[in-house]
Structure 1
């Protein structure tokens, strides 16, 4: 870690004063009230004992508080990462008989190392390869997988199948065996949380705006309290599946078991968990930071989330990242500095030291209800519909990722989505928009001849390329120019308008030289115009202007128009075509 990173990581300490300390302490208690039920629920989703979700709420948020870049981001277990952990540990268990409780900390440690290495190498830009359509498809499929995984706990059934279709078939085959008590408790949990977050919260906000907003987000805590009370005081515990004994006390720090076979098996999923976790943290942090004119830095987030996952691995937990609901609660509860995360970790520590006997009475149906309600946050139907209307290619990426995750599994499906997204990007780059442009009468502006009434020069064709010239599209440009001159025998000069070109790689440079020679062999001249400074610097290094001669590099399109007009006497105007 560099000295600058250490300085940046600690710059919020100067804002700590007695008044902010009190606000952070209160916010920390509120965050902990949400962390405890969520931690246990998400650990169950990950196929792990509930205490591992609580362990993931101790050291990770404390480390992020010191080294992260967001003042409000609440780090801990989240639904999507929990699903990915369940997939990875289940696969490792099937192939090598490894206990998920042993594999999960190793996965967290590996994810932390990957994030730290990416941070040291300043590879935060890699998150850009996880496009929004891929995330939409992945999140939507993940919501379905999470929902299916909770049906046994929500209905009191035993389901062995892992594939979505098999799970659905087993559930329908056992409808007669559904426990009405368990199903009723699941539905009651959902209704209770909705009641607290809806009508009750609105009523409280009218009386006490700030307190009402916080209470409205504490539905999960009330549901857990209700479930424990129901099991303890009604005699229904014998008819409900409960969490069971939770070890009292704090986890002992120890190195996770790392064997070469595990590393090879888990490396792919660890990398994907790192990417998804970083994307989720950055997007949540930026959304809140924008309101306060602050900045969330991806490379520093790599450091904060990376160290948080290392802490999770060392404390017997599993991979973590920033959670939306907890972060919003932290903001609403008045958190001023990351100390709120430290207070939250302290509160969870007290729960582990003194309240585990109570938590052991909690029915699993309550946690299933919390998870089922939480997956609503993963579904963004409006965004999918909007993407379909805006760009069918991106919509196809959503669909491919969605069905890939459902049919091929989380890891393979997500990789397929990323590869298709990158493939679509390369296809778009290889097919750049190319327009024949002319001068708008009475101005020095040049626009598409097919959209505007423009002036053109006889024998001169201005061609604008709306993309950087690189190896995927250089041949496309060459073929487009040659096709243009085949269709227009009167063309004597070609002017390539380079206003949208930010880079010309070596392959494209060779193609331009080849195109220039081909045009010269036909008695034509190629010119360039509006070449950006950095691009021109590169062309000068290989003395491209002299190779282009008698073609020239014009400063503006107007300069090219005026110079070439002297050689072509007649100017014509095209009628506007509305398209």
Structure 2
């Protein structure tokens, strides 16, 4: 057991947390398997084995690895074209491929790359996936079989047109489940069984009052006992590589959100790359145990912490308890009404959709983020979800590039007093004989150089002007920046003006010399940055005030 493993004094708290998350996780696992279009038994296996195995391997002590709602919707769109008889074999290959990609991301330490997934795009993606869950369960809720291959919104319209075919018994069971969950959650002592207790109540009700309501047993067999080992058929991997990569990306982005939101017991943030490798190894091993792809779940991890978990043993206990339930009471799950599971899933999806404050904040403060969120949301409704994440990634990169390009400019530093400066917009033109202090603002790379150069003041008609340009913190400049500085220096020289570079990192000197900037500016007009912020700038100002521009 790794450092930070279970201790005797934390065992009672971990037992309570493990039991709580197991009681909540059992109906969730079955429901998410239903969303994924697979046997609920595979969801239970995943809740048992993936959660327990990951407890040993992930960097985060609290991270609960399971089949999540977003993964479930993505799996459904991947498996929809697969013949029913081939679904299990395809699922297990998908699991091992997702694990291999996750392991690869961890080994190359790709955790930092997930920061390029915009929160706005992720919000659109999760909201769209949640809506798909809600719409996809309307058939089970109402007892009317929706078209499997239709766009979900269109399927809802089909349901409206066939409202007369809705089964009142099924709808009553589903709505009753939703009400019971909402009420039970408000009773503190019953909160841990807020999902499980309504399923038991509605199962009894279906047996006594509504015998015609469809049960889990009508679509799947759930035998007692643990799974036998299977060998994933790698021959099926060819057509699953792109979808598996998408699932891996989805899972890792969600896991990073968990890790950064829920710190370790000592307040530090766990190593996300270890989380990646841990989830990867978990999925690889779990594929031999008939499990679906899994990843860190924010809601399940938050519940784990709220239930009092103190060490990673809580997840181990949770997985073990689910395993015990499968071993001794698996067939009882066949008695659960499908409309009841649908009601729980619709409630979960609706809670994910209802995030007005976050959506309003994105719409109000980020124009590019707003359109990225909307575009990603629309893509989830018209494209298979696993491809929507690629749309989201591309949109995130576009948002980053657009935002950084807009922000890139130079600002005017106006001296006030005691070595302090006020930032203003750079003037459009220089004034004759005046010293103008500028600083580069925003990111400096090839895509932003045009915006930066365009915001430099024009030297036309400003003879005797001096421009001081501060470059502190600019280390990875590239030849584009050097060429831009050379062009501006020659424009200034043509008007008998002078360019002074200050706060220059010593590592830039070779580039300045090799690209001709040093020759165009003059080595006497370059001031190297010191550990004292502003020291080189003061030297540059003194030089500008004591020396007139030199003709050459």
Q: TM-score by structure 2 length?
A: 0.90
Contact conserved, 2:127 with 2:377, CA < 8 A, in 1? yes
Contact conserved, 1:255 with 1:314, CA < 8 A, in 2? yes
Q: 1:57 aligns with which of 29, 47, 51?
A: 47
Q: 2:541 aligns with which of 561, 564, 578?
A: 561
Q: Which residue of 2 aligns with 1:194?
A: 182
1:39 aligns with 2:12: no
* 1:422 Cα deviation after fit: 0.8
Q: Which residue of 1 aligns with 2:156?
A: 168
Closer/same/farther in 2, CA of residues 536 and 81 from structure 1, 3 Å limit: farther
Q: Which residue of 1 aligns with 2:103?
A: 116
Q: 1:84 aligns with which of 51, 74, 77?
A: 74
1:143 aligns with 2:117: no
* 1:275 Cα deviation after fit: 1.9
Structure 1 residues 286-315: Cα deviation after superposition (integer angstroms, max 9, x where no partner): 322267513221111111211222233221
SS, match of residue 103 in structure 2: helix
Closer/same/farther in 2, CA of residues 491 and 369 from structure 1, 3 Å limit: farther
1:513 aligns with 2:513: no
* 1:99 Cα deviation after fit: 2.4
Which region of structure 1 is more displaced relative to structure 2, 522-531 or 543-552?
Answer: 543-552
Which region of structure 1 is more displaced relative to structure 2, 396-405 or 428-437?
Answer: 428-437
Q: Which residue of 1 aligns with 2:231?
A: 255
CA distance in 1, matches of 2:321, 2:395: 45
Structure 1 residues 232-260: Cα deviation after superposition (integer angstroms, max 9, x where no partner): 3x05233334444312211122221222x
Contact conserved, 2:105 with 2:111, CA < 8 A, in 1? yes
Closer/same/farther in 2, CA of residues 222 and 465 from structure 1, 3 Å limit: same
Q: Which residue of 2 aligns with 1:6?
A: none
Q: Which residue of 2 aligns with 1:68?
A: 58
Q: 2:306 aligns with which of 316, 321, 332?
A: 332
CA distance in 1, matches of 2:192, 2:443: 48
CA distance in 2, matches of 1:551, 1:397: 48
Q: Which residue of 2 aligns with 1:157?
A: 144
SS, match of residue 465 in structure 1: strand
* 1:66 Cα deviation after fit: 0.8
Contact conserved, 2:432 with 2:465, CA < 8 A, in 1? no
Contact conserved, 1:466 with 1:501, CA < 8 A, in 2? no
Closer/same/farther in 2, CA of residues 517 and 98 from structure 1, 3 Å limit: farther
Q: Which residue of 2 aligns with 1:527?
A: 500
Which region of structure 1 is more displaced relative to structure 2, 343-352 or 320-329?
Answer: 320-329
Contact conserved, 2:98 with 2:283, CA < 8 A, in 1? yes
CA distance in 1, matches of 2:497, 2:228: 78
CA distance in 2, matches of 1:98, 1:566: 86
CA distance in 2, matches of 1:382, 1:291: 29
Closer/same/farther in 2, CA of residues 129 and 305 from structure 1, 3 Å limit: same
Which region of structure 1 is more displaced relative to structure 2, 36-45 or 468-477?
Answer: 468-477
CA distance in 2, matches of 1:433, 1:495: 18
CA distance in 2, matches of 1:104, 1:189: 30
Q: Which residue of 1 aligns with 2:533?
A: none
Closer/same/farther in 2, CA of residues 85 and 139 from structure 1, 3 Å limit: same
Closer/same/farther in 2, CA of residues 437 and 480 from structure 1, 3 Å limit: closer
Contact conserved, 1:460 with 1:491, CA < 8 A, in 2? no
Contact conserved, 2:265 with 2:310, CA < 8 A, in 1? no
SS, match of residue 370 in structure 1: helix
CA distance in 1, matches of 2:153, 2:418: 64
SS, match of residue 99 in structure 1: helix
User: After the TM superposition, which residues 448-527 of structure 1 pair with which residues of structure 2 at under 5 Å, given as runs?
Assistant: 448-450=423-425, 458-481=433-456, 484-486=458-460, 489-490=462-463, 492-499=465-472, 501-527=474-500
CA distance in 2, matches of 1:184, 1:292: 48
CA distance in 2, matches of 1:367, 1:541: 69
Q: Which residue of 2 aligns with 1:205?
A: none
Q: Which residue of 2 aligns with 1:349?
A: 323
Which region of structure 1 is more displaced relative to structure 2, 296-305 or 99-108?
Answer: 99-108
Q: Which residue of 2 aligns with 1:284?
A: 258
CA distance in 2, matches of 1:436, 1:12: 50
* 1:98 Cα deviation after fit: 7.1
Q: What do you get for the CA RMSD once the two structures are aligned? A: 2.7
* 1:74 Cα deviation after fit: 1.8
* 1:193 Cα deviation after fit: 0.7
Closer/same/farther in 2, CA of residues 470 and 292 from structure 1, 3 Å limit: same
Contact conserved, 1:439 with 1:456, CA < 8 A, in 2? no
Closer/same/farther in 2, CA of residues 568 and 90 from structure 1, 3 Å limit: same
Give 5+ residue unaligned stretches, structure 2: 530-535
Structure 1 residues 196-249: Cα deviation after superposition (integer angstroms, max 9, x where no partner): 112x23xxxxxxxxxx4xx324211111211222233x0523333444431221
Which region of structure 1 is more displaced relative to structure 2, 53-62 or 316-325?
Answer: 316-325
CA distance in 2, matches of 1:271, 1:174: 38
SS, match of residue 84 in structure 1: helix
User: After the TM superposition, which residues 290-309 of structure 1 pair with which residues of structure 2 at under 5 Å, given as runs?
Assistant: 292-309=266-283
Contact conserved, 2:492 with 2:498, CA < 8 A, in 1? yes
CA distance in 2, matches of 1:436, 1:329: 47
1:11 aligns with 2:26: no
SS, match of residue 530 in structure 1: strand
1:222 aligns with 2:197: yes
Which region of structure 1 is more displaced relative to structure 2, 499-508 or 273-282?
Answer: 499-508
Contact conserved, 1:437 with 1:446, CA < 8 A, in 2? no
1:400 aligns with 2:400: no
